[in-house]
Each structure stands twice: as C-alpha cells, then as structure tokens.
Chain A
Amino acid sequence: MPVLCKAGCGKNAMLKRPKTGDALCKECFFWAFETEIHFTITKGELFKKGDSVAVAASGGKDSTVLAHVLKTLNQRYDYGLNLMLLSIDEGITGYRDDSLETVKQNRDDYEMPLKILSYKELYGWTMDEIVAQIGRKNNCTFCGVFRRQALDRGAAMLNVKCIATGHNADDIAETVLMNILRGDIARLKRCTAICTGSEGTIPRVKPLKYTYEKEIVMYAHYKKLVYFSTECVFAPNAYRGHARALLKDMEKIRPTCIMDIIYSGETMAVKEEISLPSQRLCIRCNFVSSQEVCKACVLLEGLNKGLPKLGIGKSSKAKKMLEEYNAKQKSSLEEAIKDINDECKKNNCVSKGKVCRSSYKSNQSHTAQVNEESHSKMDTCCNGQCSEKLNTENETNLKVQVLLKEYGLSESELNGQTSDKLTESCDKAQTLEMDDDDFEIDTHSTGKELIEDDDSCGGACGNIDSLHIGF
C-alpha cells in the first residue's frame, strides 16, 4: 500500500527523507529541500543584498544543485544576488575535461557568466603532469591545495564578495571524522563553520551544509538536472576514503548520525591553552597561509625543483629537505668548479703562453656557467621521468663536448696540429674522455643524490605515518 505524503497534500509519497524519516511526495520534497536551504542562508546570514557571489562549480551534483537552487531562491525570495560560476580546470584527462562541458551547459541553462581558471596557467602544471611526478599516492594533496588557492585567485579576478561551495552535510561530517583521525585540531575547529575566511580574504560559504548528499542526488535526479557523476580518476587512492567508508556504514545504521556529527563539531572547541597556528598571508604569493610560505608555494617549489615530495608531510621535514637539497647543489657546484680549476691548473702547468692563461680564464668562467646551466636543467628534470632525464644528460653532454672542444683547442695548439687533424683528434679525445671525464661524473653524482633524496622521502612517506599525511 502506498504511503501518503506526510505533508498532507494527498499525494503518494515518493521518498523517505533521511534526516527526519518523513515520507514526502515529489512536489513537497522540492519545496522542503529549497526552503531548507533558504532557511540556512537567511538564518546563517550568508549573503547580503546586492552581493556578487561566485558559485564554485565542478559540474558535479553538489555544485549543479547549488547553482540551480541559488538561482531559484534568488528569484523567489529576491536576494538581489549577482551570481556567477567559477570553475577550476585541474587538467585531469578523462575527468575534468568532461565535467567542464557540464559546467558550460550549466552556464547556458542558468544564464550565469562562467570563469574557468586552469592549473596550467596558474601554476604551470596540470594534474596529469603532477601525478606523473608524484605517483598515485598523495596527489589529492596537490590538487586540494592548489584548488583552494585557485578559487581565491578566481574570486579575486571576478571581484566577488564571497564564494559559495557545494559542500554538503555528508562532506562536513566526513571532514570532522577525518580531522579527528589525523589529530588536526586547527582544521577540526574550522571545518564545521558555515562561513570561513579570515580578514582580508574572500569568505567561503556552504549553503548546503545541512543538506544530505542523498537528498541532493534525489533532487538532481527528479529535477532532471544535468550533472557529471564520474568520480575523479585519482580519488580512489585518497585517505578520505577511510572516513567516507566509516560514515557510509554508520549512516546505514542511523541516518541522523550525520547531523549528530555536525552538531558535535559545532559545539566542540579547542581548549584555550592549546596554541594553534594563526592564519596569515604567504610571503611569496600573498594568499592565506598558516605558515610563512603557503603550502601551494611549497608544493610548487617541490615540483619545479624535481622534489615532488617536498610539500608532503610536516613543514619541518620540507625545510630540512630543501636545506639538504641546496647544500648538495652548492657542494656539487663547488666540487665541479674545483675539479675544473684543478684541471685548468694542470693545463696551465704544461702550457707556458699567454693564450693558455686567457683560455684558463675563459674556461673557468665558461665552466661555471655550464655547470649552472646543467644544474638548472637538473632542477626541472624529474627523477621519475627517465626519458626526460636522458635528454637532460644528453644536453649536458653536449655542453661538455663544447667545453672539451675548447680544451682540445688549447692542447692542440700546443701540439701545433693542423685544424683538420685537430677536429679528428678532438672527436677521439671526446669519446675517450667521455667515460671518465670529470664533468660527466659530476652530473652523474648530482643525479644520484637527487634520486637518493627522493627515495628517503618516499620511505618516510610510505610508512605508517602516511596516515597523517595524504590529505
């Protein structure tokens, strides 16, 4: 026997609301769903009349429903909001490219302007490229950190008063659990706030904070909204999965637990005697950060230096890693210069002319330059990407060859050979010297050190502590 709609409209109920257990028909559900979000917006004082609001749109169900409902409520209750869509293109093939098409559809359907920012243009890296570097673990760290900042940048470009995100009740409950498991007190404190953002930054608001994911799916389904439902291709490896699995298991037993967890989060507080990192601005990029240099900058630095694990884990580790890296760079540079100097001195001893001395000078400066160049090459070179590394080595070898030619020149001049013979002997000398040349060895050792560095980090990150890391 069909159940009647509890709202008393006389129609048959079509769904049971997880939050309250009440059975409702489609129309009454739509009304309840929208009115609840209206209640959240007005009671929580999320917007002011006339505000420009950027809806963070991914093309997924949450942001699609958020855009739809905000547009509906904006008209129904005359919020006077100027709504626009803001999307971030992480550069994930097979996921974001498709979902952005959905966002474009939303733009046309809801008649809102759309701004798309890409990781590539902001940071010079796509997620695909980052994953190629870091591997399948920890890549959500990069994506999450970069996206948060990208949203800030996008909002600043659009000149909006606040950003509305599609975080739903399930997401927030999950985050509470996750922060407990990680012992992340600072985030635990922030994560249930409906409006976040310190002074000088653009606040984020969560109008769907009290809306169950299930209801969002049902709303989108019955309203026939177009949304993109594929999970991110990299997400299955995220640690968040643990907290999510636990929450899903518990929701089956007691659907209200999601609200209970949010209530717990809302009424918990960090004890006064516990010192928390204060939020400030990153000295490099001027966006919000809890450290002197923000996570996004650290991660980016790591990527550009060929130390992709740099930003993973504690910031103290990162500092150490960077120091070691710099020390190694410096020492290998010094060694190389020293070797060259020794070599030149030897040559100097053999040679007795002014030509030689000048060539020693130019050699020295040139060598230093080449060394620097080879190091900057190493910087961008990835340890994981072997093909690129080989290229770099070849390039370095080229430089070495050029250098050798100059060496050969001074030697050959001493020997008084003709130019034709000179090149010949030069080539021979090159092939011979290639194997045990100082420069060659030097670049090798730099490469090895880099790899070792990377390995030690991989060891530290791969052990039990990884639980505390990969978010």
Chain B
Amino acid sequence: MICRKCNSPGTLIIRKEYCYCDECFIFMINHKFRACLGKNKTLSANEKILICLSGDACSTVLLDLVYNAISLNNHKKLRVVPYVLYIIETVADNEKISNSIIEQCKSYGFPLTITNINEYNKNFFSNKEETESQNSYNSKSILSNVTSSIHRDVMMKIKQNIFLKISKELDCNTVFTAETTTSLATKLLSNIVIGRGSQIENDIGFADKRDRDTRILRPLRDITNEEIEHYIQIKEIKPAKAMHNKLNETSLQSVIKNFVMDLQENYPATISTICKTADKIGSITNNINKKKCVVCQSNLDNNDLNLTAVDATVFSRKVSLRQSGESKYNEDSQNIEENNLMFPFIYQSLCYCCSRNMSELGNNKIKQ
C-alpha cells in the first residue's frame, strides 16, 4: 500500500490495482480535468460557461473542480466565468435537492439558475414543424404513457435543449456537463441500442457541436465514477442526490447501466475502451446540405443507402399486412405512405430514433 506517485503510505486503490495517497489522488483528478480541457484547446480567456448540474456526485465534483481551477493564483488558473443551471425534474424531494444546490453555489459564489422541466415540455413538442396536433396534448401525460426507454431518451433530449436555451439567455457559448467515463459508456451503448449510432460523435465525444453557437463540453470524460466516489469522500463533499443505485425500472438504459456497472466491477478496462471507441466513430453522412433533426439537431441520415434496417422494417410491416401484391412490393408511392406510419418524417425532419419515438408517442395518442 504505497502511493505510486510519492511513495508515502497510500490510502486508496482504484481499479483494484493502482494505489494513491489522498493528496496525489486529488492532484491527479484535477490534472485529468485540466488536461481534458487543455488538450482540446477550446476555451478562450474569460469565457462565460454554463455548468449544468443534476445534483448527483458527478456534477458536485465538477463544480468543485471548476472552483479549484479558477481560484488558483498562478499561470494554471482557469480563466472562465461560471454560471450554474439546475433543472428540476421530479416532484419528489426536489425542495431538499434545490436547497442543497443553492447552498453549494452560495459557498462557491457562483450565480445559479433554477428552472422546472415541465415549463419546457410543452414547448418541446410544439417545436416540431408538422405536429400541430400534438400541441393540444399535455406533454407530461403523453410521456408518462410511453415505455421508460423512450421516456428516458426524450427527457435527455429535452434537457439538452434547455441547456442550450438557458445558455443563450445567459449569453454563454459553452456548456459544461458532468458526464463521466462510466456514464458516457452507458450512454454510448444506449445510443447504439436505440438507433442513434451515427450521433455518437456528438453525444459521447468531448464536444457536442450540433448547435451553431453553443458547444456542450464534457470535461469529466476521463474520470470514472469510482474516482468520483473517492473524490467526494476525501473532500467530504455532500452531493445533493445519491448516485449509482441500480435502477429498478425496466428500460433499455437501465439494463445497460447495470451491465456497465458490472463491467466496472469485473473488467474496469472495458469502460475506457468503450469511450475511446466513441472518439473514432463518425457518421456515414457527409451531410452538406445540413438537414437537421428538428428534435435533437443531429444531421439527418441520407436516404441513399441501398438497403437499411428502415427499409427492412417497413417492408416487414407491409408484408405482415399483406398490403403488397408479390409483384409490386417495391413501388415507391406505397413506400412513403408506409414510412409515415412506422417512421414518421424520417429523412425529412426527424432522425431515425426521434422518428421511432414519435411513432410510439403517436400510437399512444390514438389509444387515448
């Protein structure tokens, strides 16, 4: 048990292998955070940044790291002007959480904005060009009726849109989120599983550049949840919300989260492998005309591939309904009509996954 940096007695072991003392560990985490920002060379001096909190340990650590970096008094000082945003998502417990976050920001001296997600829910759906009919529905009730897999995905997109909206109101060009290696690995697998594979670059990479003016950066992307836990223990920080509890709901994301936590336990190297993979993946669409999904702002995939899972799924539906005679199964006119049922607005204004979500939301609407 000797710290691998300074040879003094170590106090903690990460990844079951590497021993550190408290001091060297905190130094290492600070370094990882700064290195991540530094090597990407994206911040200019005195830039306004919006730090988005969820209240869990990761975002609390992010706040602390930013505070430490700007309070330095040497050449390493981080020259940014931080603002903080907290979005109230659930009804339960939220007063306690927001109070705790207000306390934290006060002690750091960062200006805080608190907003409620429900105010944006309705607007979110009315944003879509062709969905007039959705306007009349209470978006909250629509969301409560869909499967939790879609619910989670839609919520994430809503939050992302709020980040961008608030950042513009506050005149910030940069947003920091507190996603760690572990949570990004989960997000990457979730992305693949719901058909957002081509959006990985922006969803998991260091910078999300889908918005023309505002970048979303992920400065904790080289830090694992395990390290976050050690950090809050050493620094005796009390996060407003607990994290890491295995989810009980049955969604794709929860299955993946449990899977990743299991990996972290037994194969810690795999987590970083997954995240490194994300850096190398782009999209096949070199979309020059820049058609974007109206919900998630991702570039739309082109419909110029010969045969994709969309064609196959649409055709499956068609033959299941015996709609096509054997001779005219590939008539284009029918194709578009079918597209609209299974994949509404795909290739036009929605990406694959948002289109699938829309189709499921639509089905719900019919049931109501």
| A268 part of interface (Cβ distance < 8 Å) | yes
Q: Give min CB distance, B207 to chain A, whole Å.
A: 14
B309–A262 touching, CB < 8 Å: yes
Question: Which residues, 311 to 332 on B, are CB-close (under 8 Å) to A?
Answer: 311-313, 315-317, 319-322, 326, 329-330
From B196, B280, B307, B317, contact of A185 by CB (8 A): B280
- CB contact under 8 A between A261 and B193, given known A7-B322, A183-B277, A268-B283: yes
| A450 part of interface (Cβ distance < 8 Å) | no
A269–B320 touching, CB < 8 Å: no
Q: Give min CB distance, A322 to chain B, whole Å.
A: 26
A269–B194 touching, CB < 8 Å: no
Question: Which residues, 237 to 284 on B, are CB-close (under 8 Å) to A?
Answer: 250-252, 255-256, 259, 263, 267-270, 273-274, 276-277, 280-284
The total of Cβ contacts below 8 Å across the A-B interface reads: 177
A32–B319 touching, CB < 8 Å: yes
Question: CB-defined interface of A239-259 with B at 8 Å, one 1/0 digit per residue?
Answer: 000000010011001101101
A17–B316 touching, CB < 8 Å: yes
From B195, B250, B256, B307, contact of A194 by CB (8 A): B307
Residue of A nearest to B351 (CB): A267
| B133 part of interface (Cβ distance < 8 Å) | no
From B307, B317, B320, B322, contact of A44 by CB (8 A): B307
| A285 part of interface (Cβ distance < 8 Å) | no
Query: Which chain A residues border B284 with CB–CB below 8 Å?
Result: 266-269
Expressed in whole angstroms, the Cα–Cα distance for A181 and B308 within the complex equals 23
Query: Which chain B residues border A42 with CB–CB below 8 Å?
Result: 330
B285–A267 touching, CB < 8 Å: yes
| B45 part of interface (Cβ distance < 8 Å) | no
Expressed in whole angstroms, the Cα–Cα distance for A222 and B21 within the complex equals 65
- CB contact under 8 A between A36 and B315, given known A246-B259, A261-B192: yes
Q: Give min CB distance, B218 to chain A, whole Å.
A: 18
| B310 part of interface (Cβ distance < 8 Å) | yes
Q: Give min CB distance, A37 to chain B, whole Å.
A: 10
A274–B321 touching, CB < 8 Å: no
Question: CB-defined interface of A9-43 with B at 8 Å, one 1/0 digit per residue?
Answer: 10000000101101010001001100110011011
Query: Which chain B residues border A210 with CB–CB below 8 Å?
Result: 309, 312-313, 316
| A140 part of interface (Cβ distance < 8 Å) | no
Query: Which chain B residues border A7 with CB–CB below 8 Å?
Result: 320-322
| A283 part of interface (Cβ distance < 8 Å) | no
Expressed in whole angstroms, the Cα–Cα distance for A21 and B322 within the complex equals 15
Greatest chain A CB density within 10 A among B268, B274, B321 is at B321
Expressed in whole angstroms, the Cα–Cα distance for A261 and B353 within the complex equals 11
Q: Give min CB distance, A108 to chain B, whole Å.
A: 30
Greatest chain A CB density within 10 A among B268, B319, B352 is at B319
B309–A8 touching, CB < 8 Å: no
| A260 part of interface (Cβ distance < 8 Å) | yes
From A20, A183, A265, A272, contact of B313 by CB (8 A): A20
Residue of B nearest to A7 (CB): B322
Query: Which chain A residues border B305 with CB–CB below 8 Å?
Result: 266
| Majority-rule SS of B interface residues | helix
- CB contact under 8 A between A43 and B307, given known A20-B313, A254-B149, A259-B313: yes
Expressed in whole angstroms, the Cα–Cα distance for A256 and B150 within the complex equals 12
Query: Which chain A residues border B188 with CB–CB below 8 Å?
Result: 180
Residue of A nearest to B363 (CB): A21
| B179 part of interface (Cβ distance < 8 Å) | no
From B189, B301, B320, contact of A6 by CB (8 A): B320
Question: CB-defined interface of B279-310 with A at 8 Å, one 1/0 digit per residue?
Answer: 01111110000000000000001000111111
B194–A20 touching, CB < 8 Å: no
| A464 part of interface (Cβ distance < 8 Å) | yes
A253–B252 touching, CB < 8 Å: yes
Expressed in whole angstroms, the Cα–Cα distance for A250 and B268 within the complex equals 22
Expressed in whole angstroms, the Cα–Cα distance for A39 and B198 within the complex equals 25
From B198, B285, B330, contact of A264 by CB (8 A): B198
From A36, A45, A176, A249, contact of B312 by CB (8 A): A36
| A123 part of interface (Cβ distance < 8 Å) | no
B307–A36 touching, CB < 8 Å: no
Expressed in whole angstroms, the Cα–Cα distance for A268 and B282 within the complex equals 6
Residue of A nearest to B250 (CB): A253
Expressed in whole angstroms, the Cα–Cα distance for A401 and B192 within the complex equals 67
From A20, A32, A176, A253, contact of B192 by CB (8 A): A176
B306–A44 touching, CB < 8 Å: yes
Query: Which chain A residues border B273 with CB–CB below 8 Å?
Result: 181-183, 467-468
Q: Give min CB distance, B339 to chain A, whole Å.
A: 14
Expressed in whole angstroms, the Cα–Cα distance for A270 and B282 within the complex equals 6
From A39, A181, A265, contact of B329 by CB (8 A): A39
Question: Which residues, 38 to 57 on A, are CB-close (under 8 Å) to B?
Answer: 39-40, 42-45
Query: Which chain B residues border A22 with CB–CB below 8 Å?
Result: 317, 320-321
Q: List 15 A-B contacts (CB under 8 A).
A: A8-B321, A32-B322, A39-B319, A177-B192, A183-B274, A246-B255, A246-B256, A253-B251, A254-B147, A254-B252, A256-B313, A259-B195, A259-B313, A264-B191, A268-B198
A-B pairs, 3 with minimum CB distance: A264-B197, A210-B312, A260-B195
Q: Which residues of B contact A (CB under 8 A)?
A: 147, 149, 188-189, 191-198, 200-201, 250-252, 255-256, 259, 263, 267-270, 273-274, 276-277, 280-285, 301, 305-313, 315-317, 319-322, 326, 329-330, 342, 352-353, 356
**Given A32-B320, A268-B198, list of 14 further CB < 8 A pairs?**
A6-B321, A7-B320, A20-B342, A28-B322, A39-B312, A44-B306, A185-B280, A185-B281, A263-B352, A264-B193, A267-B197, A267-B284, A274-B280, A468-B269
Q: Which residues of A contact B (CB under 8 A)?
A: 6-9, 17, 19-20, 22, 24, 28, 31-32, 35-36, 39-40, 42-45, 176-177, 180-183, 185, 188, 194, 209-210, 246, 249-250, 253-254, 256-257, 259-272, 274, 464-465, 467-468
